C-alpha cells in the first residue's frame, strides 16, 4: 500500500483554516489531521468541540482526529458525532489498561476507527497488547502540543518495532502513523521502517507553494 499523507492544520492561523482545508482537498489528499488540545494534557489549546464540528463539516476527506486531552473517554462520542472518521487518544491519558481497552471499544461502538498514540518518552512495548484491537497506532516523533519541532530520531526504532510486531502477528490492516517533524527526508526514513501514514504540518504550510510541496512528498 502506498503511504498516506495526512496534512495537519495545527500551524495554520484559525482565520485561514477553511481555505487551507480546500487547498488540501484540491491537492488530492485522502486524509486531513486535526489536533485537539485541552491545555491540560498538553499546555496548548486548539479547538473546542463546536469549532471542530464546524471544521469537520467543511470536508468529505477522511477526518483523522487526534485527542491530546485528559479523560478522553468522556469526549469520544462527541467527536465522532461531530464527524471524526478516526479518533486517536493517548495511552498516557488513561488510568489503566482496562480504560484503554474500554475506549477502543467505545470508538468502534460509535462507528469510527480507533487509534492509540504514545509520547516519545513512553515505552512502546506498553501498547503492544492493544494492537490487535486497533485500526491505527500513532508514534509521536516530537513532544505533543506544538508544531514545528525537530524529528526525534529514536522514533524510527519504535516504528520498526511496531512494524515487526504487526508483520509477525499478521495485523495487515493496522496503520502505523507518525506525527512530528515530518519533511521530505524524515518521511522517507519513516516509510522505510514501516510507517504508512505520515502527518505533515509545517513542511507543507510554512512554504509559499503548498501544492508543490505536497506533490514532492506524495509522488
User: Which residues are part of the catalytic machinery?
Assistant: 35, 179
Q: Cα dihedral sign for 201, 203, 204, 205?
A: positive
Please write down the HEC assignment for all residues of 105-170. Answer: HHHHHCCCEEEEEECCCCCHHHHHHHHHHCCEEEEECCCCCCCCCCCCCCHHHHHHHHHHHHHHCC
Dihedral sign for Cα atoms in the order 135, 46, 157, 188: positive
Question: Cell 519533511 appears where?
Answer: 183
Q: Within 13 Å, how many C-alpha atoms sit on residue 141's CB side? A: 29
Residues 180 and 151: beta-carbon distance below 8 Å: yes
Which set of grid coordinates corresponds to residue 198?
505520515
Collapsing DSSP states into helix, strand and coil, what is residue 83?
Answer: coil
Specify which residues 116 forms β-bridges with: 89, 137
Amino acid at each position: 500500500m502506498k503511504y498516506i499523507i495526512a496534512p495537519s492544520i495545527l500551524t495554520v492561523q484559525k482565520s485561514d483554516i477553511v481555505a487551507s482545508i480546500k487547498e488540501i482537498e484540491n491537492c488530492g489528499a485522502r486524509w486531513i489531521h486535526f489536533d485537539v488540545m485541552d491545555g491540560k494534557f498538553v499546555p496548548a489549546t486548539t479547538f473546542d468541540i463546536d469549532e471542530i464540528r464546524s471544521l469537520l463539516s467543511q470536508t468529505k476527506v477522511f477526518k483523522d482526529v487526534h485527542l491530546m486531552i485528559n479523560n478522553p473517554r468522556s469526549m469520544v462520542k462527541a467527536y465522532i458525532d461531530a464527524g471524526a472518521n478516526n479518533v486517536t487518544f493517548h495511552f498516557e491519558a488513561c488510568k489503566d489498561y482496562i480504560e484503554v481497552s474500554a475506549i477502543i471499544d467505545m470508538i468502534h461502538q460509535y462507528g469510527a476507527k480507533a487509534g492509540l498514540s504514545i509520547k516519545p518518552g513512553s515505552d512502546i512495548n506498553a501498547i503492544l497488547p492493544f494492537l490487535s484491537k486497533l485500526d491505527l497506532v500513532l508514534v509521536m516523533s516530537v513532544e505533543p502540543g506544538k508544531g514545528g519541532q525537530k524529528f526525534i530520531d529514536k522514533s524510527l526504532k519504535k516504528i520498526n518495532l511496531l512494524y515487526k510486531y504487526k508483520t509477525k502477528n499478521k495485523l495487515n490492516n493496522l496503520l502505523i502513523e507518525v506525527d512530528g517533524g515530518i519533511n521530505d527526508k524524515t518521511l522517507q526514513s519513516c516509510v522505510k521502517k514501516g510507517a504508512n501514514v505520515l502527518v505533515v504540518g509545517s513542511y507543507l504550510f510554512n512554504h509559499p507553494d503548498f501544492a508543490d510541496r505536497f506533490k514532492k512528498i506524495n509522488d
